[in-house]
Amino acid sequence: MEKVSEIVSVFRDTFFVGKFTNTERLVNRMIHTNSLTKKYDNGFVAVNDLNIQVQKGDIYGYLGPNGAGKTTTIRMLNGLLQPTRGEVLIGNRKVADHLVEIRKMIGVLPESHGYYNWMSGREYLTLFAKLYGYDKSKLKNRVDEVLTWVGMIEKAHIPIGQYSRGMKQRIGLAKTIIHEPELIFLDEPTLGLDPQGQKDIQNIILQLNKEKGVTVFITSHLLKDISEICNRVAIVSQGNLIEENSLVGLLEKYKSLSETGEVTLEDIFFYLTQSKEVKSQ
Ligand SMILES: Nc1ncnc2c1ncn2[C@@H]1O[C@H](COP(=O)(O)OP(=O)(O)O)[C@@H](O)[C@H]1O
Ligand SMILES: [Mg+2]
Protein backbone atom coordinates (compact mmCIF):
# COMPACT_ATOMS: atom_id res chain seq x y z
CA MET A 1 0.00 0.00 0.00
CA GLU A 2 1.32 3.46 -0.84
CA LYS A 3 2.48 5.61 2.02
CA VAL A 4 0.26 8.45 3.17
CA SER A 5 3.03 10.92 2.40
CA GLU A 6 3.14 9.82 -1.26
CA ILE A 7 -0.61 10.15 -1.62
CA VAL A 8 -0.53 13.48 0.17
CA SER A 9 1.98 14.85 -2.31
CA VAL A 10 -0.38 13.98 -5.17
CA PHE A 11 -3.27 15.68 -3.40
CA ARG A 12 -1.30 18.75 -2.51
CA ASP A 13 -1.36 19.63 -6.18
CA THR A 14 -4.91 18.47 -6.79
CA PHE A 15 -6.66 20.44 -4.06
CA PHE A 16 -6.59 24.16 -3.63
CA VAL A 17 -8.53 24.17 -0.36
CA GLY A 18 -6.65 26.08 2.29
CA LYS A 19 -5.70 28.84 -0.13
CA PHE A 20 -9.11 30.51 -0.09
CA THR A 21 -9.65 34.10 0.91
CA ASN A 22 -12.53 34.67 3.36
CA THR A 23 -14.93 35.66 0.55
CA GLU A 24 -14.01 32.60 -1.49
CA ARG A 25 -14.55 30.40 1.55
CA LEU A 26 -18.12 31.70 1.84
CA VAL A 27 -18.86 31.12 -1.84
CA ASN A 28 -17.35 27.66 -1.76
CA ARG A 29 -18.90 26.60 1.51
CA MET A 30 -20.85 23.35 1.31
CA ILE A 31 -21.51 22.45 4.95
CA HIS A 32 -21.31 24.74 7.91
CA THR A 33 -22.31 24.00 11.50
CA ASN A 34 -22.81 26.45 14.35
CA SER A 35 -22.49 25.02 17.86
CA LEU A 36 -24.14 21.80 16.75
CA THR A 37 -25.09 19.76 19.81
CA LYS A 38 -27.06 16.59 20.44
CA LYS A 39 -28.13 15.56 23.90
CA TYR A 40 -30.15 12.34 23.77
CA ASP A 41 -33.27 11.89 25.92
CA ASN A 42 -31.28 9.98 28.55
CA GLY A 43 -29.11 13.09 29.05
CA PHE A 44 -26.09 11.77 27.16
CA VAL A 45 -24.32 14.43 25.08
CA ALA A 46 -23.22 12.62 21.91
CA VAL A 47 -22.13 15.75 20.01
CA ASN A 48 -20.94 18.81 21.84
CA ASP A 49 -20.78 22.29 20.35
CA LEU A 50 -19.49 21.27 16.93
CA ASN A 51 -18.27 23.96 14.54
CA ILE A 52 -17.01 22.69 11.22
CA GLN A 53 -16.89 23.87 7.63
CA VAL A 54 -16.72 21.67 4.58
CA GLN A 55 -15.83 23.33 1.28
CA LYS A 56 -17.09 22.38 -2.16
CA GLY A 57 -14.85 19.72 -3.62
CA ASP A 58 -13.62 18.42 -0.26
CA ILE A 59 -13.34 14.80 0.69
CA TYR A 60 -13.83 15.52 4.36
CA GLY A 61 -12.96 12.69 6.74
CA TYR A 62 -14.77 12.72 10.07
CA LEU A 63 -12.72 10.31 12.09
CA GLY A 64 -12.93 8.94 15.60
CA PRO A 65 -13.40 5.75 17.60
CA ASN A 66 -16.71 3.97 18.12
CA GLY A 67 -19.06 6.09 20.18
CA ALA A 68 -17.35 9.38 19.23
CA GLY A 69 -20.61 10.76 17.84
CA LYS A 70 -19.98 10.33 14.11
CA THR A 71 -23.32 8.78 13.20
CA THR A 72 -25.16 11.26 15.40
CA THR A 73 -23.38 14.10 13.59
CA ILE A 74 -24.04 12.75 10.10
CA ARG A 75 -27.74 12.27 10.91
CA MET A 76 -27.99 15.90 12.05
CA LEU A 77 -26.09 17.12 8.98
CA ASN A 78 -28.55 15.46 6.63
CA GLY A 79 -31.64 16.43 8.56
CA LEU A 80 -32.60 13.00 9.92
CA LEU A 81 -32.03 13.95 13.54
CA GLN A 82 -32.95 17.21 15.14
CA PRO A 83 -30.13 18.95 17.00
CA THR A 84 -30.67 19.88 20.64
CA ARG A 85 -28.86 23.12 19.97
CA GLY A 86 -27.12 24.82 17.06
CA GLU A 87 -27.73 24.59 13.34
CA VAL A 88 -26.53 23.10 10.09
CA LEU A 89 -26.27 24.99 6.80
CA ILE A 90 -25.82 23.24 3.48
CA GLY A 91 -24.85 25.65 0.77
CA ASN A 92 -26.14 28.74 2.48
CA ARG A 93 -29.46 27.24 3.49
CA LYS A 94 -30.45 26.04 6.92
CA VAL A 95 -31.16 22.31 6.76
CA ALA A 96 -34.03 22.57 9.23
CA ASP A 97 -35.89 25.06 6.97
CA HIS A 98 -35.12 23.60 3.53
CA LEU A 99 -35.26 19.84 3.95
CA VAL A 100 -37.01 19.08 0.67
CA GLU A 101 -34.56 21.01 -1.55
CA ILE A 102 -31.60 19.78 0.42
CA ARG A 103 -32.63 16.14 0.14
CA LYS A 104 -32.51 16.50 -3.65
CA MET A 105 -28.93 17.72 -3.65
CA ILE A 106 -27.52 15.22 -1.17
CA GLY A 107 -27.01 11.46 -1.14
CA VAL A 108 -26.73 9.45 2.04
CA LEU A 109 -25.19 6.02 2.63
CA PRO A 110 -26.13 5.15 6.22
CA GLU A 111 -24.01 2.99 8.52
CA SER A 112 -26.41 0.08 8.37
CA HIS A 113 -29.01 -0.14 5.70
CA GLY A 114 -31.41 -2.80 4.60
CA TYR A 115 -31.50 -4.03 1.02
CA TYR A 116 -34.28 -5.81 -0.73
CA ASN A 117 -32.37 -9.05 -1.01
CA TRP A 118 -34.71 -10.61 -3.54
CA MET A 119 -34.15 -7.78 -6.01
CA SER A 120 -31.24 -7.68 -8.42
CA GLY A 121 -28.84 -4.75 -8.19
CA ARG A 122 -30.39 -3.36 -11.36
CA GLU A 123 -33.97 -3.63 -10.05
CA TYR A 124 -32.96 -1.97 -6.80
CA LEU A 125 -31.35 1.00 -8.55
CA THR A 126 -34.20 1.26 -11.06
CA LEU A 127 -36.61 1.54 -8.13
CA PHE A 128 -34.69 4.47 -6.65
CA ALA A 129 -34.19 6.15 -10.01
CA LYS A 130 -37.99 6.04 -10.45
CA LEU A 131 -38.51 7.44 -6.96
CA TYR A 132 -36.21 10.32 -7.85
CA GLY A 133 -38.33 11.05 -10.89
CA TYR A 134 -36.23 9.78 -13.81
CA ASP A 135 -38.54 9.19 -16.72
CA LYS A 136 -38.47 6.08 -18.87
CA SER A 137 -36.26 7.57 -21.56
CA LYS A 138 -33.46 8.39 -19.12
CA LEU A 139 -33.93 5.68 -16.52
CA LYS A 140 -31.98 2.83 -18.11
CA ASN A 141 -29.10 5.08 -19.10
CA ARG A 142 -28.77 6.46 -15.61
CA VAL A 143 -28.91 3.02 -13.98
CA ASP A 144 -26.30 1.70 -16.45
CA GLU A 145 -24.14 4.73 -15.77
CA VAL A 146 -24.06 4.27 -11.99
CA LEU A 147 -23.62 0.50 -12.29
CA THR A 148 -20.57 1.19 -14.46
CA TRP A 149 -19.25 3.75 -11.98
CA VAL A 150 -19.31 1.24 -9.14
CA GLY A 151 -18.04 -1.64 -11.28
CA MET A 152 -21.22 -3.71 -10.96
CA ILE A 153 -22.61 -3.68 -14.49
CA GLU A 154 -21.77 -7.35 -15.05
CA LYS A 155 -23.26 -8.47 -11.73
CA ALA A 156 -26.34 -6.27 -11.99
CA HIS A 157 -28.74 -9.15 -12.78
CA ILE A 158 -27.84 -11.18 -9.64
CA PRO A 159 -30.12 -10.92 -6.57
CA ILE A 160 -28.63 -8.67 -3.87
CA GLY A 161 -28.98 -11.52 -1.34
CA GLN A 162 -26.19 -13.31 -3.23
CA TYR A 163 -23.78 -10.37 -3.18
CA SER A 164 -20.69 -10.20 -0.98
CA ARG A 165 -20.50 -7.35 1.54
CA GLY A 166 -18.22 -5.42 -0.82
CA MET A 167 -20.69 -5.78 -3.69
CA LYS A 168 -23.55 -4.66 -1.44
CA GLN A 169 -21.56 -1.56 -0.50
CA ARG A 170 -20.97 -0.78 -4.17
CA ILE A 171 -24.69 -1.02 -4.85
CA GLY A 172 -25.27 1.14 -1.75
CA LEU A 173 -22.91 3.73 -3.21
CA ALA A 174 -24.69 3.52 -6.56
CA LYS A 175 -28.00 4.19 -4.81
CA THR A 176 -26.43 7.13 -2.99
CA ILE A 177 -25.41 8.82 -6.26
CA ILE A 178 -28.31 7.76 -8.50
CA HIS A 179 -29.88 11.25 -8.51
CA GLU A 180 -26.58 13.04 -9.20
CA PRO A 181 -26.19 14.70 -5.79
CA GLU A 182 -23.56 17.41 -5.30
CA LEU A 183 -22.81 16.25 -1.78
CA ILE A 184 -22.73 12.74 -0.36
CA PHE A 185 -22.58 11.51 3.22
CA LEU A 186 -20.99 8.11 3.71
CA ASP A 187 -21.14 6.62 7.21
CA GLU A 188 -18.35 4.04 7.59
CA PRO A 189 -18.63 2.85 3.98
CA THR A 190 -15.63 0.52 4.28
CA LEU A 191 -16.73 -1.12 7.54
CA GLY A 192 -16.30 -4.89 7.44
CA LEU A 193 -14.63 -4.96 4.04
CA ASP A 194 -11.39 -6.75 3.29
CA PRO A 195 -8.40 -4.61 2.20
CA GLN A 196 -9.20 -5.00 -1.49
CA GLY A 197 -12.87 -4.12 -0.89
CA GLN A 198 -11.76 -1.05 1.08
CA LYS A 199 -9.46 0.06 -1.72
CA ASP A 200 -12.20 -0.44 -4.33
CA ILE A 201 -14.64 1.75 -2.39
CA GLN A 202 -11.94 4.38 -1.82
CA ASN A 203 -11.18 4.47 -5.53
CA ILE A 204 -14.84 4.90 -6.46
CA ILE A 205 -15.12 7.79 -3.98
CA LEU A 206 -11.97 9.42 -5.34
CA GLN A 207 -13.21 9.13 -8.90
CA LEU A 208 -16.60 10.59 -8.02
CA ASN A 209 -14.87 13.50 -6.38
CA LYS A 210 -12.32 14.16 -9.09
CA GLU A 211 -14.36 13.47 -12.18
CA LYS A 212 -17.86 14.50 -11.08
CA GLY A 213 -16.89 17.12 -8.52
CA VAL A 214 -18.95 15.49 -5.77
CA THR A 215 -18.22 16.79 -2.28
CA VAL A 216 -17.84 13.91 0.18
CA PHE A 217 -18.38 13.80 3.94
CA ILE A 218 -17.14 10.43 5.12
CA THR A 219 -16.79 8.85 8.54
CA SER A 220 -14.60 6.05 9.78
CA HIS A 221 -13.55 4.65 13.15
CA LEU A 222 -10.33 3.47 11.54
CA LEU A 223 -8.24 6.61 11.36
CA LYS A 224 -5.89 5.23 8.76
CA ASP A 225 -8.52 3.68 6.58
CA ILE A 226 -10.03 6.50 4.57
CA SER A 227 -7.74 9.33 5.63
CA GLU A 228 -5.63 8.52 2.59
CA ILE A 229 -8.30 9.83 0.25
CA CYS A 230 -9.32 12.85 2.35
CA ASN A 231 -7.96 16.33 1.76
CA ARG A 232 -9.34 17.52 5.07
CA VAL A 233 -9.96 15.65 8.31
CA ALA A 234 -11.68 16.20 11.62
CA ILE A 235 -10.73 14.06 14.58
CA VAL A 236 -13.51 13.53 17.10
CA SER A 237 -13.57 11.88 20.48
CA GLN A 238 -16.40 11.57 23.01
CA GLY A 239 -18.56 14.08 21.19
CA ASN A 240 -15.84 16.71 20.92
CA LEU A 241 -13.90 17.92 17.92
CA ILE A 242 -10.31 17.64 18.97
CA GLU A 243 -8.55 18.63 15.77
CA GLU A 244 -9.53 19.79 12.31
CA ASN A 245 -7.16 20.56 9.50
CA SER A 246 -6.08 19.73 6.00
CA LEU A 247 -4.49 16.30 6.04
CA VAL A 248 -1.24 17.87 4.87
CA GLY A 249 -1.44 20.53 7.60
CA LEU A 250 -2.16 17.99 10.30
CA LEU A 251 0.72 15.70 9.39
CA GLU A 252 3.02 18.71 9.19
CA LYS A 253 1.83 20.17 12.51
CA TYR A 254 2.48 16.96 14.41
CA LYS A 255 5.49 15.64 12.54
CA SER A 256 7.65 16.08 15.63
CA LEU A 257 5.70 13.22 17.27
CA SER A 258 7.82 10.83 15.27
CA GLU A 259 11.58 10.95 15.04
CA THR A 260 11.44 10.07 11.37
CA GLY A 261 8.71 12.65 10.63
CA GLU A 262 6.48 9.83 9.30
CA VAL A 263 3.66 10.57 11.72
CA THR A 264 0.30 8.77 11.34
CA LEU A 265 -3.19 9.90 12.22
CA GLU A 266 -3.24 7.23 14.93
CA ASP A 267 -0.14 8.82 16.52
CA ILE A 268 -1.86 12.20 16.42
CA PHE A 269 -5.12 10.81 17.83
CA PHE A 270 -3.41 9.08 20.75
CA TYR A 271 -1.29 12.12 21.44
CA LEU A 272 -4.29 14.47 21.46
CA THR A 273 -6.61 12.26 23.51
CA GLN A 274 -3.93 11.39 26.06
CA SER A 275 -2.80 14.97 26.51
CA LYS A 276 -6.45 15.96 26.92
CA GLU A 277 -6.94 13.39 29.68
CA VAL A 278 -3.79 14.61 31.41
CA LYS A 279 -4.98 18.22 31.13
CA SER A 280 -8.38 17.41 32.65
CA GLN A 281 -6.93 15.56 35.66
N1 LIG B 1 -30.70 7.13 20.79
C2 LIG B 1 -29.69 7.23 21.65
N3 LIG B 1 -29.90 7.46 22.97
C4 LIG B 1 -28.87 7.58 23.82
N5 LIG B 1 -27.57 7.49 23.48
C6 LIG B 1 -27.30 7.27 22.18
C7 LIG B 1 -28.33 7.12 21.20
N8 LIG B 1 -27.74 6.90 20.00
C9 LIG B 1 -26.42 6.91 20.23
N10 LIG B 1 -26.15 7.12 21.53
C11 LIG B 1 -24.83 7.20 22.15
O12 LIG B 1 -24.16 8.33 21.62
C13 LIG B 1 -22.79 8.06 21.46
C14 LIG B 1 -22.38 8.36 20.04
O15 LIG B 1 -23.00 7.41 19.18
P16 LIG B 1 -22.75 7.42 17.62
O17 LIG B 1 -23.11 8.75 17.09
O18 LIG B 1 -23.46 6.25 17.06
O19 LIG B 1 -21.17 7.23 17.57
P20 LIG B 1 -20.22 6.68 16.40
O21 LIG B 1 -21.01 6.69 15.13
O22 LIG B 1 -19.07 7.60 16.41
O23 LIG B 1 -19.83 5.29 16.81
C24 LIG B 1 -22.56 6.61 21.88
O25 LIG B 1 -22.08 6.59 23.19
C26 LIG B 1 -23.95 6.02 21.80
O27 LIG B 1 -24.10 4.97 22.73
MG1 LIG C 1 -21.38 5.24 13.76
User: Could you report the per-residue pLDDT of 33-48, keeping only the tens digit for each?
Assistant: 999 999 999 999 999 9
97 DSSP assignment: G
Closest among 92, 54, 59 to 212, alpha carbons compared: 59
For residue 19, is pLDDT > 90?
A: no
Cβ neighbours for 111, distance < 8 A, ≥ 6 positions apart: 71, 187, 188, 191
The verdict on the CB of residue 71 being under 6 Å from ligand 1 is: yes
CA-closest residue to ligand 1 atom 6: 40
**Structure confidence at residue 1 as a pLDDT band (50, 70, 90):** very low
The helix/strand/coil state of 49 is strand
**Predicted confidence (pLDDT) at residue 203 exceeds the cutoff of 70:** yes
Q: Which residue of 39, 41, 66, 72 sits with most ligand 1 atoms within 8 Å of its CB, as the best mutation to test the pocket?
A: 72
pTM of the model as a whole: 0.89
Which residues have C-beta under 5 Å from ligand 2, the single-atom ion? 70-71, 111
Phi, psi angle pair for 15, to nearest 5°: -100, 140
28-46 burial by CB neighbour count: b if 16+ within 10 A, else e?
bbbbbbeebbbeeeeeebb
Q: How confident is the model at residue 277 (pLDDT cuts 50, 70, 90)?
A: low
Q: Which residues pair with 33 in a beta bridge?
A: 88
Q: Which residue CA neighbors atom 25 of ligand 1 most closely?
A: 67
Query: Given a cut of 70, is residue 25 above it in pLDDT?
Result: no
Output helix, strand, coil percentages for the chain, rounded to the nearest 5.
Answer: 45, 20, 30
Nearest to 205 by CA among 215, 195, 196: 215
Rounded Cα–Cα distance for residues 200 and 173 (Å): 12
CB distance 237 to ligand 1 below 6 Å: no
- What would the pLDDT profile of 82-116 be if each residue is shown by its tens digit? 999 999 999 989 999 999 999 999 999 998 877 78
Tens of pLDDT, residues 119-145: 999 999 999 999 999 998 899 999 999
Whether 68 is in the pocket of ligand 1, judged by its Cβ within 6 Å, is yes
Q: Residue 201: its pLDDT value, please?
A: 93
Ligand 1 atom nearest 111 alpha carbon = 21
CA distance 61 to 155: 30
* Ligand 2 center–CA 77 separation, angstroms: 14
Q: What whole-number percentage of the chain has pLDDT above 90?
A: 69
pLDDT digit string, tens, across residues 52-68: 999 999 999 999 999 99
pLDDT bin (cut points 50, 70, 90) of residue 261 is confident
Q: How confident is the model at residue 236 (pLDDT cuts 50, 70, 90)?
A: very high
Residue type, 197: G
CA of 68 to the centre of ligand 2 (A): 8
Is the minimum distance from the CB of 133 to ligand 1 under 6 angstroms?
no
